[in-house]
Amino acid sequence: MRQKTKNPLLALKKDWQLWVMILPALVYILIFCYGPMYGIQLAFRKYDYSKGLTGGDWVGLRYFKQYFDSPMFYTTMKNTFVISFFSLVGGFPVPILLALVINSLRQNKLKRVVQTAVYMPYFISTVVMVAILQIMLSPTTGIVSGLLKSLHLIPSSVNLLGTPSAFVPVYVISGIWQSAGWNSIIFIAALSSVDGQLYDAAKVDGASRLQQVIHVELPAIVPTIIILLIMNMGRILSVGFEKTFLMQNDMNLTVSQVISTYTFNVGVQSGQFSFGSAVGLFNTVVNFVFLILANTVSKRVADISLM
């Protein structure tokens, strides 16, 4: 018993070098990740400059109510949910297909070229990405919008960047263009660890290459698919701030104002710190609930979970 109470000090003496090595990272995380978590109480307090961050009067859920009662609640919730739902539905299958295709290529040179190329857009900054969209989709000179018009896929008078109904498709498709290649890496890695004997067994059974994909490769990557789906559920209400913010203009604001851009508007730009905190906290909580839900469901159904 005695030894147990003594142990921490002894351990500290023995491990002091390890503590020195972890301390900078630990301090950073405590200040810059847990500090803001402590500051969440701002959402429940009336912010008062003279009293500092946590000194304002406690007002309970007043700012949450203010958000739920405002017309922006429905708008921002709907926009955030629509953008993220279509990003998930449209964007999730493409990397899987891409990985299966890349994995099937027989010439190693072509394989490497395709891989290098499809990773490339991921390294382009959001600012440049949005600029490329403006160039490609310009109603007068854009080559992509020109092509779509000549194929009669869109009416010739439409401005893809200013039409509200075009915002989500443009957002989702450009997102796929930018990150499908990068997101395929994890599936390619999962495919490369498939046991060669499984392929041999399938060949003996007379399976064609396509049947091998369906019966050997797909089952092998299902756990990876489920894990990524769970992680994506935890982000269901976190639409990328940068891209939405940069794609926003007066014409598409009805569909492009999402929770994070709204938080930025009310919190940082108009200085309603408490209200902004409440909107942000609501967003975090919804994400967290979705994450837990998805995790529980997959644990029950497939016995796969995050932690």
Interface with another protein in residues 232-261 (CB under 8 A): 234, 241-242, 245-246, 260
In angstroms, the CA 169 to CA 86 distance is: 8
11 binding another protein? (CB under 8 A): yes
In angstroms, the CA 301 to CA 229 distance is: 14
105 binding another protein? (CB under 8 A): yes
> Directed axis angle between helix 164-192 and helix 218-233, to 10°?
130
278, 63 contact by CB (below 8 A)? yes
302, 84 contact by CB (below 8 A)? no
Q: Give 44-53 contacts, CB < 8 A, sequence gap 24+.
A: 44/278, 45/274, 46/274, 47/273, 47/274
One-letter amino acid at 154 equals: I
Q: Which of 121, 215, 220, 232 binds another protein (CB under 8 A)?
A: 121
Stretch that binds another protein, among 72-80, 152-160, 164-172, 287-295 (CB under 8 A): 287-295
In angstroms, the CA 90 to CA 176 distance is: 8
265 binding another protein? (CB under 8 A): no
Considering the complex, state which of residue 19 and residue 85 has its C-beta at the smaller distance from another protein: 19
Q: Which of 72, 186, 253, 289 binds another protein (CB under 8 A)?
A: 186
288, 294 contact by CB (below 8 A)? no
222 binding another protein? (CB under 8 A): no
DSSP code of residue 1: -
Q: Which of 1, 33, 204, 301 binds another protein (CB under 8 A)?
A: 33
- Per-residue string for binding with another protein, 48-87, x by CB under 8 A? ----xx----------------------------------
Considering the complex, state which of residue 193 and residue 197 has its C-beta at the smaller distance from another protein: 193
In angstroms, the CA 281 to CA 55 distance is: 19
One-letter amino acid at 302 equals: A
Stretch that binds another protein, among 78-86, 116-124, 151-159, 194-202 (CB under 8 A): 116-124
In angstroms, the CA 103 to CA 189 distance is: 10
199 binding another protein? (CB under 8 A): no
116 binding another protein? (CB under 8 A): yes
3 binding another protein? (CB under 8 A): no
Stretch that binds another protein, among 64-72, 73-81, 83-91, 270-278 (CB under 8 A): 270-278
139 binding another protein? (CB under 8 A): no
Considering the complex, state which of residue 75 and residue 224 has its C-beta at the smaller distance from another protein: 224
